[in-house]
Amino acid sequence: MPNNIDEQKDANVGHRARIIDTYSKLDLCDLSPQQVLEYILFYVFPRGDVSVLANRLLEQYGSVQNVLDANVHSLQAVHGINERSARLITGFIRIFDYYMNSKMARKEKLDNWESIYDVCESLVRFQNKEHLFVIGLDPMFRVLGHRKLSHGSGSQVFLNSEPVIDFINEMKPAYVVLTHNHPGGMCKPSVQDIEGNETIKHMAKVMHAKFIDHVIVGSDGIYSIGYDRKVRTFMNSEDVKHLAQIYSSGLDE
């Protein structure tokens, strides 16, 4: 048992170092939500015990995802979170977005439609607001770049042709793909989606870029307006449980 304040500080530092070392060796999926959030908070608070704060945040928001999706103002209402720490917490999503976008940009060549859907999914699937992106490809179907055209406050974005024109002028792509998400909704296109698709398709043709698809990512899967059908289906939680039961039953036999 530490006898003074300095020994207590040393004990806390040692305990924290052991936890960080343990967590860093494990897959995050093997940790509890409390442990995952503690691991994240270690980077926000360089010193001290963050377990109480992690528990407080989970009680307030219900999940790690909701904590990271919260805005700066909302987080500051939680005891122990000031503006600086709130900004650092919300920054993790931007880091994740940057990583995924950079990884997508390094993809040398999109060999098939599935690889195109992979790119679209990586850009917008896990956004909690609706986002619209344009992706430019060269004649060999390599990604030249992408640009966020707009994002909505909830479930709707506004498709403006001017940013697309600017993107095509700057990147000179041979092919253009649009993608946006329906957060918490079905991937089936709305009337506005289809009308906006035709506008951009015509505009790209005038600018000598071939518009090859508009891909919508919903909670149920991915819809291709070009093919006019759902091209990828996501499993819901019940499907996952059902497969787990089948798998475990097979192991018992």
Length of the chain: 253
Give the strand order in the sheet containing 175-182: 143-151, 131-137, 175-182, 210-218, 221-224, 229-233
**Per-residue model confidence as pLDDT tens digits over 131-142:** 899 999 999 898
Q: The domain containing residue 21 runs over which residues?
A: 5-97
The last residue of one of the domains, among 65, 97, 129, is: 97
Low-confidence stretches of the chain (pLDDT beneath 50) = 1-11, 154-155, 252-253
The answer to whether position 144 is within a domain reads yes
Supply the CATH number for residue 145's domain.
3.40.140.10
Q: Given this model, what pLDDT does residue 7 score?
A: 42
- 117-169 residue pLDDT tens: 998 998 888 887 888 999 999 998 988 888 888 766 544 555 677 888 899 99
| DSSP of 226-243 | TTTEEEEE---HHHHHHH
Which secondary-structure segment (H or E) carries 91?
helix 83-105
Cα Dmax for the chain: 78
Q: Taking each helix axis from N to C terminus, what angle separates 113-124 and 83-105, rounded to the nearest 10 degrees?
A: 170
Same domain, 126 and 92: no
Note the pTM of the prediction, 2 decimals.
0.60
Which amino acid appears at position 245 of this protein? Q
In the prediction, which pLDDT does 85 show? Answer: 94
Looking at the structure, tell me whether residues 128 and 220 fall in a common domain: yes
Give me the CATH number covering residue 14: 1.10.150.20
Decide if 250 is inside a domain. no
Any domain includes 189: yes
**198 and 89 assigned to the same domain:** no
Count helices and strands in the chain by DSSP H and E runs:
10, 6
Residue 179 C-alpha from the chain's centroid: 14
- Same-domain pairing of 39 and 134: no
Q: Would 217 be classed as within a structural domain?
A: yes
